[in-house]
Structure 1
Amino acid sequence: MYKSLLSSFLLFIATFSFAQTETDTLRMTAQDSSIIYSIELREIIFTPDNVYTTDEDKKAKLILKRRIFKVYPYAKITADKLTQLNATMAKLKTNREKKKYFKIVEKYLEEEFEPRLKKLSRKDGQILVKLIYRQTGSTTFDLIKEYKSSWKAFWANSTAYLFDINLKTQYKPYDVKEDYQIEGILNAAFNQGQLSRQEAKKAIDFDKLNEHWINKIKIQKSQPKE
């Protein structure tokens, strides 16, 4: 059931990538008849050292980086194609024409993208939902509601909750540590040319964000332990 759910809402996301060639992916190499993701371990210092204080933290960071590299292209394509989709819909005169066009796109995507999207894990889905918000300024729930229907958005979100995916999740790098880490990983990847840069829909000043977390961590460390 989870794979079907994830595929359903990700196929909606991929609607914006109709006839789009994906270029922002990790380098891939074949090994033991499977595809593995290769990432460069060379790092740019982009967050305070004490954000990653243990070997476990550093390992978690690398896992998070792989997830971001895997799903970021889908979020970027969503933002890139949102305007184009709206422009195409605006040219269609009737709701019937718009619905027919959308169905054609959906059918194509089911055949083209479903096998790949079904391979995403729950955590991949959680990260993707956050990145969708970063790139579009809207939650995945709101996008489904706008382009599909409120009823489908409600049931998609209700079912997603069972699998620990909240389609209403926003991206809050100033409040949520994981989101701050995501922004840092993205910033480093953009600077290294590993990912194609796309600014957040709601502007983020990374220097100010970094300073915010440095101060926040200092305050946390200065507080007496209970």
Structure 2
Amino acid sequence: MPNNFLFSVFFLLTFSVFGQSKKDTLQMTTQDSSIVYSIELREIVFTPGNVYNSDEDKKAKLILKRRIFRVYPYAKLTADKLTQLNATMAKLKTNKEKKKYFKIVEKYLEDEFEPKLKKLSRKDGQILVKLIYRQTGQSTYDLIKDYKSGWKAFWANSTARLFSIDLKTEYQPFEVNEDFQIETILNAAFNQNQLMRQEPSKPINFDELSSYWISKMKSSSIKNAN
């Protein structure tokens, strides 16, 4: 069996839990606003990621920050556990030992994460899928396909899509504005020691990323002006 076991089980568990939540009820609070505002006051470099076009835009970005702070630890933990899993699997010699170890890991995941994952909303799940891709370099769909089968991956994705979650989603900060916003928030949180830094599976040059979006916004403004 491939070394993607932990990741696959984690997500099979995750999306079965998301299925119990049919509404995204996350709201902005005064505490959220004050916390994020204090973060931004310490920012030195201003990028499109912390420029607001309206109060609604500001609110949306503040809520996005709250979501990232909520789910990033799960993404980081997944990557950390995969590393540990790879090291342990390399030491196991028989399929029987590996299967036994798989069951132990599965039981641990169920006991440790199910109560916490029940608290996540559908939008949290969408962000988590992107962050998992950031940390592992593979989509959830592909990882489940590797571990289980193409049919299992299809079934899992079909179920997830009922709750507006696509397991094939990739993390594309140079292509998708929300992903750029996510990377901006992560970069600020890492620099201020508010989240524990973990480098993405596929390196991202944040200065290059910011310059790209600044240039893109300027080009768009000029085009609209004409």
TM-score when scaled to structure 2?
0.79
Q: Which of the two has greater helix per residue? A: 2
Residues 97-156 of structure 1: per-residue CA shift (max 9 Å, x gap): 222211121122212220111111000000000000111111112222233443322210
Change (3 A) 1:132 1:50: closer
Contact 1:137/1:201 (8 A) holds in 2 = yes
The one of 29, 37, 45 aligned to 1:41 = 37
Mark the runs of 5 or more structure 1 residues left unpaired by the alignment. Answer: 1-6, 14-35
Mark the runs of 5 or more structure 2 residues left unpaired by the alignment. Answer: 1-8, 16-30
Change (3 A) 1:225 1:99: farther
Q: Secondary structure at 1:223's aligned position in 2?
A: helix
Query: Which runs of 4 or more aligned residues in structure 1 lie more than 6 Å from their structure 2 counterparts after TM superposition?
Result: none
**CA–CA separation in structure 1 for the residues paired with 2:191 and 2:182:** 14
Contact 1:144/1:153 (8 A) holds in 2 = yes
Q: Secondary structure at 2:170's aligned position in 1?
A: coil
Aligned residues: 198
**CA–CA separation in structure 1 for the residues paired with 2:199 and 2:142:** 20
**CA–CA separation in structure 1 for the residues paired with 2:10 and 2:217:** 39
Change (3 A) 1:116 1:173: same
How many angstroms does 1:168 deviate by?
1.0
Contact 1:145/1:152 (8 A) holds in 2 = yes
1:79 maps to 2:75: no
Structure-2 residue corresponding to 1:22: none
**CA–CA separation in structure 2 for the residues paired with 1:50 and 1:64:** 12
**CA–CA separation in structure 2 for the residues paired with 1:205 and 1:222:** 26
Contact 2:36/2:62 (8 A) holds in 1 = no
Contact 1:130/1:169 (8 A) holds in 2 = yes
Contact 2:49/2:184 (8 A) holds in 1 = no
Contact 2:72/2:131 (8 A) holds in 1 = yes
Structure-2 residue corresponding to 1:21: none
Structure-2 residue corresponding to 1:105: 105
RMSD of Structure 2 on Structure 1 (CA): 2.5
Change (3 A) 1:50 1:110: closer
Aligned identity (percent) is: 73
